[in-house]
């Protein structure tokens, strides 16, 4: 028996060590980082050269150097930082307003088959509706201020958090609950020692999806009903044919997405070190 426990401990150490090594997808090896950097530089160089040589339209595809100069000017005059701050603020409030209820309700539905059977049809009906399509209705109810923009963004956070959290709770092996009950664990202990760790990988996946969908909806709402934010900046750039400003805003949105992805990968590595990504 002692030999078996020793083998288990050794396996656990090897498992954890393997997760934290450079072989893990959550770790970007130096060679891979260099490869990604080289590819980006080559693509930007090819774009620059093609635009300068007239192989592609510089009106619709301005050279990266022109886009960089435009972005620098927008940063210096405060336009880009101000619009970034407005979009991030709406994103944050949308995540709080939609993500937290989605997480809590997902935990509840994951543990209650009867409640899930009653509520699921309503969610199945509401989920496919394009969230941007309900903006006019929300504006009729809440006016034309910030509330409709945040509410639409919140719908983007709600469903990914709800569905992923609920799925995470459902996939926990029932034997874990039986063991906890046999040891006399309280409901709080069951939640903190079984439900939360078991569903955490799914919750983090839902958080990444929620961030991306909420950002998408925030930008979309800003394009049609706002004077500020990156979406409004994109729309104004299109109306005035300042295409380089449009690309500057798109570049910032791309950086947001990359930042969300790397932040969640780092968080996942810290919070669920027992899981091996395949």
How confident is the model over 27-57, as pLDDT tens digits? 445 557 788 788 888 888 998 898 888 888 8
Give the C-alpha separation, 53 to 46, whole Å: 10
Q: Quick one: which of 269, 267, 278, 197 has its CA closest to 16?
A: 269
pLDDT tens for 165-194 read 999 999 988 888 888 888 887 888 888 888
Name the residue ranges covered by the structural domains of the chain: 1-61, 78-271
Q: What pLDDT does 2 receive?
A: 41
Q: How many CB atoms lie within 10 A of CB 269?
A: 16
CA distances from residue 129 to 9, 124, 134, 219, 240 in whole angstroms, order as listed: 50, 10, 8, 18, 32
Tell me which residue of 234, 254, 253 sits closest to 244, measured CA to CA: 234
- Give dist(CA 198, CA 106) in Å, integer: 13
Q: What pLDDT digit, counting tens, does each position of 16-28 carry? A: 333 334 444 444 4
CATH for 78-271 (1.20.272.10, 3.40.640.10, 1.10.3720.10, 3.50.50.60):
1.10.3720.10
Residue ranges in 183-195 assigned as alpha helix (H): 187-190
């Amino acid at each position: 028996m002692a030999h078996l426990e020793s083998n288990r401990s050794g396996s656990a150490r090897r498992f954890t060590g393997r997760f934290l090594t450079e072989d893990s997808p959550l770790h970007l090896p130096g060679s891979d980082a260099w490869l990604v950097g080289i590819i980006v530089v080559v693509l930007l160089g090819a774009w620059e050269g093609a635009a300068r040589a007239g192989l592609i339209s510089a009106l619709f595809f301005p050279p990266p150097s022109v886009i960089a100069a435009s972005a620098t000017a927008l940063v210096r005059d405060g336009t880009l930082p101000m619009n970034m701050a407005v979009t991030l603020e709406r994103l944050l409030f949308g995540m709080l307003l939609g993500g937290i209820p989605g997480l809590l309700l997902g935990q509840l539905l994951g543990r209650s088959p009867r409640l899930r059977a009653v509520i699921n049809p309503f969610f199945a009906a509401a989920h496919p509706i394009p969230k941007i399509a309900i903006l006019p209705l929300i504006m009729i109810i809440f006016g034309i201020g910030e509330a409709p923009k945040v509410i639409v963004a919140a719908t983007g956070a709600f469903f990914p958090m709800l569905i992923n959290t609920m799925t995470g709770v459902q996939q926990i092996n029932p034997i874990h609950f039986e063991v906890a009950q046999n040891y006399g664990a309280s409901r709080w202990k069951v939640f903190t020692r079984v439900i939360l760790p078991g569903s955490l990988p799914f919750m983090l996946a839902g958080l990444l999806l929620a961030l991306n969908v909420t950002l998408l909806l925030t930008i979309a709402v800003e394009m049609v009903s706002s004077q500020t934010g990156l979406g409004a900046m994109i729309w104004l750039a299109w109306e005035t044919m300042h295409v380089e400003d449009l690309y500057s805003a798109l570049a910032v949105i791309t950086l947001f997405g990359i930042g969300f992805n790397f932040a969640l990968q780092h968080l996942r590595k810290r919070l669920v070190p027992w899981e091996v990504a395949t």
